[in-house]
């Protein structure tokens, strides 16, 4: 396959980043920036661009020069826009979340699989050098058994008009978890607590607790109201623990040879628990990571997955798993924080 013709749909907050990175990706040819507001699209492209502007999705999808679309429109429009693209035979890259509901997301996954088209999620963080390193460290066993995961994603954020803070921010954390967890460690149930102290009509501060298979607990803290910005994830392992501070470019990852080990199983009843554990207090290593823009890697993966007719790293099914967790979290919120099961089964059935 030769160069892949691309249209970016949506010239709002994220669209300009797609435009910029698409233009820099070998194997892609940006044909259109499409937005209902053509002036907004023109402003995004600026006064020196040869890229075409369109305010008609139909026009764009009818153009045989367009082989793929990258969608950066509001979540509730993902189903119609992406479905139209798939029905027109276009490959689709879509912003997180995949769709406004699990049911809608499933429609898209099924439609893409039926047609053999690429459906990829722009889970941008999954393409950072940090996540790539985390994944490799975890899957190689260097961390040992996963003991806990903890993610904090707080800042003074835009209070979204249609979704709460969980649906806005937690897809980042959840897609990272799914991207790095070893095979067989999957979310089983989720509990969510939230509050809306400014009267916005939806949770602005929330905590998510995930029960993973194997008894591992993961926690996500998201907050739109924090005056300070924190983007930190800790992945505790039996052999190493990694702390990822995404706002510290000179030391994003810190791999600690520190931890608590249980040293005996068979011990008399009188022995104190302190004697059961020992403490490792070894060195910390901050691995050298390349500095590259993650969205560039997203675009390269989209191009490659189409060119090679293979599923992308963050495919529709991963997007669907995120939706299943978010829906369970919303159900938990509505029911006062009880643990709700994550719909793992349905995901597996999709293409059955």
CB closer to its own copies, 287 vs 311: 287
Decide: 256 and 241 in contact? Cβ < 8 Å.
yes
Nearer to its own copies, 79 or 191 (CB): 191
**Selected binder of its own copies within 1, 103, 284, 348 (CB under 8 A):** 284
Of the candidate residues 2, 184, 215, 269, the single one contacting its own copies (CB under 8 A): 215
Between CA 49 and CA 66 the distance in angstroms is: 18
179 phi, psi to nearest 5 deg:
-80, -25
- Shortest CB 187 distance to its own copies, Å: 14
Q: Considering only residues 46 through 105, tell me which ones interact with its own copies, judged by CB under 8 A.
A: 46-51
Nearer to its own copies, 102 or 224 (CB): 224
Is residue 235 involved in binding its own copies (CB under 8 A)?
A: no
21, 73, 118, 223: which one binds its own copies (CB under 8 A) = 223
Rounded CA separation 35/110 (Å): 26
DSSP for 67-101 reads -EEEE-S-GGGHHHHHHHHHHTT-EEEEESSSSSS
Which of positions 238-277 make contact with its own copies (CB under 8 A)? 238, 241, 243, 250-251, 254, 256-262, 272-274, 276-277
Task: Kindly tell me which of 22 and 320 has the beta carbon lying closer to its own copies.
Answer: 22
Task: Choose the stretch contacting its own copies; rule: CB under 8 A; options: 80-88, 120-128, 283-291, 308-316.
Answer: 283-291
List the one residue from 62, 65, 142, 338 that touches its own copies (CB under 8 A). 338
Site for its own copies in 296-335 (CB under 8 A): none
Q: Which is nearer to its own copies, 223 or 318 (CB)?
A: 223
* 351: helix, strand or coil: coil
Shortest distance (Å) from residue 284 CB to its own copies: 4
Instruction: Mark the segment that binds its own copies (CB under 8 A) among 9-17, 128-136, 175-183, 336-344.
Output: 336-344
- Position of tokens 């823009």? 293
Per CB under 8 A, which region of 8-16, 103-111, 285-293, 342-350 contacts its own copies?
285-293
Tokens for 314, please give them: 């963050």
Considering only residues 145 through 204, tell me which ones interact with its own copies, judged by CB under 8 A: 145, 147-148, 150, 156, 158-162, 191, 193-195, 197-202, 204
First to last CA, the chain: 29
The interface with its own copies within residues 26-55 (CB under 8 A) comprises: 29-30, 46-51
- The Cα–Cα gap between 121 and 208 comes to 22
Nearer Cβ to its own copies (121/146): 146
Q: Bin 170: left if φ > 0, else alpha if -120 < ψ < 50, else beta.
A: alpha
Reduce the DSSP state of residue 197 to 3 states and report it: coil
Q: Which is nearer to its own copies, 181 or 204 (CB)?
A: 204
Q: Which of 116/161 has CB closer to its own copies? A: 161
Residue 260 CA, chain-centre distance (Å), reads 31
Nearer to its own copies, 40 or 193 (CB): 193
Q: Is 23 in the site for its own copies (CB under 8 A)?
A: yes
Number of residues that bind its own copies (CB under 8 A): 79
Task: Kindly report each contact of residues 94-97 with a partner whose C-beta sits within 8 Å and lies 24 or more positions away, as own/partner.
Answer: 94/70, 94/119, 94/120, 94/121, 94/122, 94/319, 95/10, 95/14, 95/71, 95/122, 96/121, 96/122, 96/123, 96/171, 96/172, 96/175, 96/319, 96/322, 97/167, 97/171, 97/319, 97/322, 97/323, 97/326
The minimum distance between CB 74 and its own copies, in angstroms, equals: 11
């Amino acid at each position: 396959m030769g160069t892949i013709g691309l249209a970016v749909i949506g010239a709002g907050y994220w669209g300009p980043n797609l435009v910029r990175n698409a233009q820099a990706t070998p194997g892609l040819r940006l044909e259109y920036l499409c937005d209902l507001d053509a002036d907004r699209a023109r402003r995004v492209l600026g006064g020196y661009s040869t890229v075409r502007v369109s305010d008609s999705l139909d026009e764009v999808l009818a153009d045989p020069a367009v082989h793929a679309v990258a969608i950066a429109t509001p979540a509730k429009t993902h189903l119609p826009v992406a479905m139209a693209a798939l029905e027109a035979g276009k490959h689709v890259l879509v912003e997180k979340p995949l769709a406004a509901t699990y049911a809608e997301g499933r429609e898209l996954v099924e439609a893409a699989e039926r047609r053999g088209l690429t459906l990829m999620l722009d889970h941008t963080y999954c393409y950072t050098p940090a996540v790539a390193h985390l994944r490799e460290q975890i899957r190689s066993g260097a961390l040992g058994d996963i003991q806990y995961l903890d993610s904090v994603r707080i800042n003074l954020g835009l209070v979204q008009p249609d979704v709460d803070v969980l649906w806005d921010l937690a897809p980042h954390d959840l897609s990272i978890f799914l991207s790095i967890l070893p095979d067989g460690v999957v979310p089983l149930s989720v509990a969510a607590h939230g509050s809306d102290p400014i009267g916005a009509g939806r949770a602005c501060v929330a905590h998510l607790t995930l029960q993973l298979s194997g008894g591992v607990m993961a926690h996500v803290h998201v907050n739109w109201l924090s005056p300070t910005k924190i983007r930190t994830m800790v992945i505790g392992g039996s052999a190493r623990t990694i702390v990822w501070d995404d706002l510290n470019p000179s030391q994003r990852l810190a791999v600690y040879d520190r931890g608590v080990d249980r040293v005996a199983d068979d011990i008399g009843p009188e022995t104190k628990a302190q004697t059961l554990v020992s403490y490792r207090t070894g060195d910390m290593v901050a691995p050298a990571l390349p500095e590259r823009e993650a969205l560039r890697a997203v675009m390269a993966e989209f191009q490659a997955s189409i060119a090679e007719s293979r599923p992308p790293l963050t495919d529709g099914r991963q997007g669907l798993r995120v939706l299943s967790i978010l829906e369970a979290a919303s159900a938990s919120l509505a029911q006062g924080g009880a643990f709700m099961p994550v719909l793992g089964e349905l995901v597996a059935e999709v293409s059955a």
